[in-house]
Amino acid sequence: MTSPTAHRHSGGTDGAGGRIPHRGAGPVLLTALAPAVWGTFYVVTTELLPPGHPLFAGLLRALPAGLIALAITRALPRGAWRAKAAVLGVLNIALPFPLLAVAAERLPGGVAATLAAAQPLVVALLAVVVLHERLSAWRVGWGLAGLLGVGLVVIGPSAALDPAGVVAGLGCAASMALGVTLTRRWGRPAGAGPTAFAGWQLTAGGVFLAPVVLLVEGRPPAIDAAAALGYLWLGLAGGLLAFVLWFRGVTTLPVSSVAVLVLLSPLVAAVLGAVVLDQVLGPVQLLGFALALASIVAGQRPAPPGRSGGREEAGPRTARLSGRR
């Protein structure tokens, strides 16, 4: 939701020559909290959670948060939105969690994080097909710069490339990119707030993920006090709060602006590694930091005239426009 004054200021232009409303920094900063929180997962996982159960951690991140959201809102999807919520839950929740777990297991953490940072590039390409935007050299260029910046921050000199891990990492980025793009295209139905919308997807993703956890990891691990604290953080902050803010941003901000915010996740992870785990950030890492942050800032600005090559939607494509629920 924007402030009453937000629509009195204009930003860039869309492909049809209309003005894109300037929403101010507030909605962007709120949306950015989601990938920032996700950046804490590495420290939480390595320091608090029992090893060998990444899918179980993903399940506890999704299903309890989704059920809490449903209990709070008492809103369920209706009509076509039952299928849409299931599709988005799979793309945004159920597929990325195990794919990221495979990538993290078979690749150095820096390589896995860099592959996940390819999401803005994939979104820029998917926007051509799904949102009917022309390919933007501005978005692609800054997406490449952000990918390079993250790579400089997190990839060490001894990084190795395992083919299965690379495929899993790219699959994770592609799944989340398609989920974000479809979420932007479909919006959310009239009368469904961000909490309900996130709850539908988290619940659907958790339901699909549950049998995968049982088949792959078997029985849940023993949970001590530290693990309970870690799982609580993953579920409430990394699941419920983060996804409510994330899907709110996806349905109200230009998709390219939201997609580039995922670069914050590996950057926050690197900062926490330096602060909590005494990892050192040298000149190359600091240069990568600056490049990635510049990409994030550039992603929030309209492309210069003659470079956008496409249409950027600013408002939600919701059922109040299409008349469908």
Number of separate domains in the chain: 1
Q: Kindly state whether residue 5 falls inside one of the protein's structural domains.
A: no
Q: Kindly state whether residue 314 falls inside one of the protein's structural domains.
A: no
Q: Kindly state whether residue 176 falls inside one of the protein's structural domains.
A: yes
Q: Kindly state whether residue 172 falls inside one of the protein's structural domains.
A: yes
pLDDT band for position 231 (cuts 50, 70, 90)? very high
Instruction: Give the C-alpha separation, 91 to 206, whole Å.
Output: 12
Q: Kindly state whether residue 73 falls inside one of the protein's structural domains.
A: yes
Q: How would you label 293-325 residue by residue, b for 16+ Cβ within 10 Å and e otherwise?
A: eebbebbbebbeeeebbbbbbbbbbbbeeeeee
Q: Kindly state whether residue 100 falls inside one of the protein's structural domains.
A: yes
Q: Kindly state whether residue 8 falls inside one of the protein's structural domains.
A: no
Q: Which residue has the higher pLDDT, 73 or 101?
A: 73
pLDDT tens digits, residue range 63-82? 999 999 999 999 999 999 99
pLDDT tens digits, residue range 11-58? 333 333 333 344 567 889 999 999 999 888 888 888 898 888 888 988
Answer yes or no: are the C-beta atoms of 192 and 7 closer than 8 Å. Answer: no
pLDDT tens digits, residue range 173-224? 899 999 999 999 998 888 899 999 999 999 999 999 999 999 999 999 999 9
Report pTM: 0.80
Instruction: Give the C-alpha separation, 149 to 141, whole Å.
Output: 12
Q: Kindly state whether residue 324 falls inside one of the protein's structural domains.
A: no
Q: Is pLDDT above 80 for 158?
A: no
Answer yes or no: are the C-beta atoms of 89 and 146 closer than 8 Å. Answer: no
- The residue segments making up the domain with residue 240 are 24-302
